[in-house]
Amino acid sequence: MTNRLVTANLALSLDGHYHGAGGQQDFAPFIPFVTTDVARDQMTRAWENATTALLGRNSAEGFIGFWSTVVDNEEADPRDRGYAKWLVDVEKVVLSSTLKDAPWDHARIVNASVASVVADLKATGEGEILVNSAPTVIKALLAEDLIDRLYLTVVPVVTGGGSRLFETGIPSTNWTLTHQQAGPAGEMAVTYTRAR
């Protein structure tokens, strides 16, 4: 067993939602805040030590296609281009019971429980395992107490609806605040490390 950390990155509203009241595709409340310097620096902190991206099918299908176009976009923020290049080049493990083949480079499909996938990843390799903006996977990891570090960008919006990250029934855990930074638009980047 290696000492690989499992980390997760997600933006949340003040009332704890990761999308708006309009449903899973409603990111309008978050858009003004996730492209700020504070949010981009938080994203960089999340991926800079990661050597594996752990994704759900939905996040893989949405993210990989979009970010692959940013790699060569000279007008994009350098931090966005850095993340895009990392995502294209990094080992990607996509959790799916419906996909059979990975249409992306450096990716493989795994139809197994998130706990067993993480156990396999931690048994080999080096570097952190990042779950970026894949709330279903993050919630499953929280339920199993398998996340070692949480990168959260909290935006100053009450959505009044949407899915929540922290739901009743997850185990009680303690966390240590290891980073915090506020932005001029009221967004807050916080990093919590699991106290074990």
Query: Where in the sequence is the domain holding 98, given as residue range(s)?
Result: 6-194
For 114, counting Cβ atoms within 10 Å of its Cβ (0-12 exposed, 13-18 middle, 19+ buried), the class is buried
Q: What's the pLDDT at 168?
A: 87
pLDDT tens string 46-92: 999 999 999 999 888 888 889 999 999 999 999 999 999 999 999 99
pLDDT tens string 25-49: 899 999 999 999 999 999 999 999 9
Indicate the residue type of 125. Answer: G
Indicate the residue type of 66. Answer: F
Q: What's the pLDDT at 103?
A: 85
pTM, two decimal places? 0.94
Give how many domains the chain has, as a whole number. 1
Flag whether 166 is in a domain.
yes
Q: Are 9 and 42 in contact (CB under 8 A)?
A: yes
Q: Are 86 and 52 in contact (CB under 8 A)?
A: no
Q: What's the pLDDT at 1?
A: 60
Strand locations in the chain, DSSP E?
6-13, 50-56, 91-95, 107-110, 128-132, 149-155, 175-182, 188-194
CATH number at residue 148: 3.40.430.10
Flag whether 89 is in a domain.
yes
Which of the four pLDDT bands, split at 50, 70 and 90, describes residue 148? very high
Flag whether 143 is in a domain.
yes
* Rounded (5°) CA angle 66-26-128: 50
Flag whether 1 is in a domain.
no
Q: What's the pLDDT at 56?
A: 92
Flag whether 186 is in a domain.
yes
What span, in angstroms and rounded, lies between the C-alpha atoms of 123 and 118? 8
pLDDT for 190 beyond 80: yes
Flag whether 21 is in a domain.
yes
